[in-house]
Amino acid sequence: MYQNNKHCPDCKTSLREMKYNQVVVDQCRQCSGLWFDNGEINSFQSRQVSNGNSTPTTPELESHFGESLGDSERQCVSCDNTKLIKHHLLESYHVEIDYCHCCEGVWIDRDELQQVAHSVELQSALEEINKPVNWKTWIFQVLTQLPLEYNVKVKKTPWITYSLIALNVFVFFICSITSNESSAWILSNFATVPVDFFEGKNLWSLLTSMFMHSSIIHLLGNMYFLYIIGDNLEDVLGKKLYLLIYLFCGVCADLVHIGFYTNSTVSVVGASGAVFGLFAMYMLWFKHASLTFMVLVFQKKIPVMVFFIVWIAFNILGAMSELSSVAYTAHLGGFFSGLLIAYILKDQILQKNQLLGMLSAPESKIKRFWHK
């Protein structure tokens, strides 16, 4: 720790030299604001991304500053009688920093340090999230009636998600090529039947039924949503915990359905309950993500929160009507079990994955429905 002759632009107290990410910067003793001389902020964020590697591996942060907001009330720490200029940290991340166009120094408040440290990750993530819809995405959704996802890229290959999809497809293929007699035997032994459960029969069906599907449309719908949201959840949860939660939500979905229909002899199959549990976690932890929605012939991006709330409302109405063969109560059971887990683990997940919290903050500007 060293003293120097630089002074805080707010407190007017002398600054002291401190090390952050192996980069020496100047810090105010009183307000803890930070001054980065020319080039220091680039070294700081490069070391943050490369985990201490001294070789810069990322673009210079200064080249990605957002729009200028005019003169700041602060004076440059290094230049005499030079006003700093206010800038947004990034085009789509509106944390205000103060920049000197003469010496290229940067002043930030102490609570902005984490955003600056993760600025390269933020820039990359926001570019991915804010990609516009185009004619290819429009054609896909018109033909399939399925939404597209706009979210951060995962860091690791989601092998558990891929394995779950492969297993579901394999089971469906085996069931589809067997004789009617064999299919009936599989259904009676591995699908969930509420009345059988209360008689202590085929208790394993709580697990096995979530890998069976009644039709190709049923299978493709569940597997598509598992594919687009499962990778991000597996990335933040880790493979073992992700798999356990997936199975837990599927079992809870069946138990809720059984509780509502204790005397039913109708078989229940499908991964919907497990996938709905993932919906709940995705909705709370990835608020920045968008899904596409068709408004007449126009494709728009909407928040995942809006998408899933509408979907849940539809399922509640379906459960109340009791006129469909769809197990809406199982969907809701899976969703609310996932919601409970999401609340329990939320702080732990956001602390471990700070980028998620930053992307969900008001400073993060996500381009959605109201953008061209």
Alpha helices in the chain (DSSP H): 40-50, 113-117, 119-129, 135-144, 159-177, 180-190, 194-198, 205-208, 216-237, 239-260, 272-285, 304-321, 328-352, 354-359
72 with 143, same domain: the answer is: no
- Adjacent-strand bridge partners of 68: 87
Q: 324 in a domain, yes or no?
A: yes
177 with 244, same domain: the answer is: yes
The residue behind tokens 């600025």 is: 119
146-200 pLDDT, tens digit per residue, is 999 999 999 999 999 999 999 999 999 998 888 788 888 888 889 898 898 888 8
Long-range contact set of residues 233-240: C-beta below 8 Å, sequence gap at least 24 = 233/278, 233/281, 233/282, 233/285, 234/154, 234/156, 234/158, 234/160, 234/161, 235/154, 235/155, 235/156, 235/158, 236/285, 236/349, 236/352, 236/353, 236/356, 237/345, 237/349, 239/159, 239/160
The residue behind tokens 């991340």 is: 93
In the chain, what percentage of residues exceed pLDDT 90? 40
The residue behind tokens 């290819």 is: 136
28 with 175, same domain: the answer is: no
240: three-class secondary structure by DSSP: helix
136 with 216, same domain: the answer is: yes
Domain-ending residue, one of 68, 97, 127: 127
**Residue 289 belongs to what domain range?**
132-359
Q: 370 in a domain, yes or no?
A: no
User: Residues in the chain with pLDDT < 50?
Assistant: 1-3, 51-59, 370-372
200 with 332, same domain: the answer is: yes
The residue behind tokens 């993530």 is: 125
The answer to whether 122 touches 58, Cβ cutoff 8 Å, is: no
pLDDT of amino acid 359: 92
156 with 106, same domain: the answer is: no
Domain-ending residue, one of 80, 96, 127: 127
pLDDT of amino acid 372: 41
List the structure tokens of 367: 């381009």
Q: 63 in a domain, yes or no?
A: yes
31 with 84, same domain: the answer is: yes
284-300 pLDDT, tens digit per residue, is 999 999 999 888 888 99
CATH number for 164:
1.20.1540.10
Q: Structurally, how many domains does the chain consist of? A: 2
Q: 371 in a domain, yes or no?
A: no
List the structure tokens of 153: 């890229």
Q: 310 in a domain, yes or no?
A: yes
121 with 162, same domain: the answer is: no
Q: 17 in a domain, yes or no?
A: yes
28 with 177, same domain: the answer is: no
pLDDT of amino acid 371: 45
166 with 283, same domain: the answer is: yes
The answer to whether 190 touches 251, Cβ cutoff 8 Å, is: no
84 with 148, same domain: the answer is: no
63 with 106, same domain: the answer is: yes
Domain-ending residue, one of 127, 154, 175: 127
The residue behind tokens 């069906």 is: 205
Q: 369 in a domain, yes or no?
A: no
Q: 372 in a domain, yes or no?
A: no
